[in-house]
Amino acid sequence: MDNETSAPTGYNIKADIQLPIATAAWVLGAHLYALLVPLALLLAVYHHWDFLVANSTYPVLFYFSISMMMAGIAFELAQNAVDGWYLTPECASAEGAGFCDFMSFWLFLLSQVLILIAFQGQYLWVLLLAAAAVALFPVLYVRQVAYFGLIGAVGLGTAVAAYLGLGDPVVFLQLLMSSLTMVFFGALLKSGNQALHGFTTIAATSGPLFLAWGIHGGATDAPQSWWLVGMIAVGAVGIAGLLRPRLAALPATVRPRFLNGPPA
């Protein structure tokens, strides 16, 4: 009949995940990893609770920090979905700006601040600086200036606070992961190869594993040596330096055709 409307054709997932199937599986798998990583920290905190009670100021804040990490990852997933999972420089998931992107970074920052206070919250100046960082971030993000620098400064302070509380230098490898994140992220934006999104995500979200490692090392009185930490850092930086030009030269990922369904 002329007035008969066509039936819905169903959900076309290609419109939301604008990646080849293999690349999509890798990128989504990396984000599943990111969502689960905080659980490793949760297990470490739970297993070594008595040690943390004796060696930190507000150990309960570790649980709140883990919650903020997972909430931040959820917002990061949402922003990627808004951007169709295909990252280009102008996307909010890359160098652009967006509400979910803002919330993701703010929650990540808050999670680090909570860890900082958990370890060294007995000092008023630490509390004041932590509160200032949380309050300043939205201003910097809206202006799109220096907010990565603020996140980096808080991350450094958190690593120092963790080392003072745990005595295991392995916690400083969290800073190494930030550097590796920028290597993969820069190569992703330069090459357009979307597989690098997965590597970027894994590097960016693996920091809690080193904190969990540090908690275990401190609690069992078996911290890692500075030599081991230094060798890992130097080796990772060296490999990243060698790979960087090769990663940037990778071919761009071609968006799948017919994102809204095949032509009639």
| Cα→Cα distances 22→19, 25, 28, 83, 241, Å | 8, 5, 10, 19, 27
pTM for the structure as a whole? 0.90
Residues 6+ apart with CB under 8 A from 164: 119, 120
DSSP state of 91: S
Would you write out the chain's pLDDT as a tens digit for each of its 264 residues? Answer: 445 555 556 777 778 899 999 999 999 999 999 999 999 999 999 999 999 999 999 999 999 999 999 999 999 999 999 999 999 999 999 999 999 999 999 999 999 999 999 999 999 999 999 999 999 999 999 999 999 999 999 999 999 999 999 999 999 999 999 989 999 999 999 999 999 999 999 999 999 999 999 999 999 999 999 999 999 999 999 999 999 999 999 999 998 875 544 444
Instruction: List % helix, strand, coil for the chain (3-state, nearest 5).
Output: 70, 0, 30
Cα distance between residue 91 and residue 111, in whole Å: 24
Q: What would the DSSP string read from start to end of 149-181?
A: HHHHHHHHHHHHHHHHHH--GGGGHHHHHHHHH
At 222 the pLDDT is 95
At 112 the pLDDT is 97
Domain boundaries, the chain: 15-248
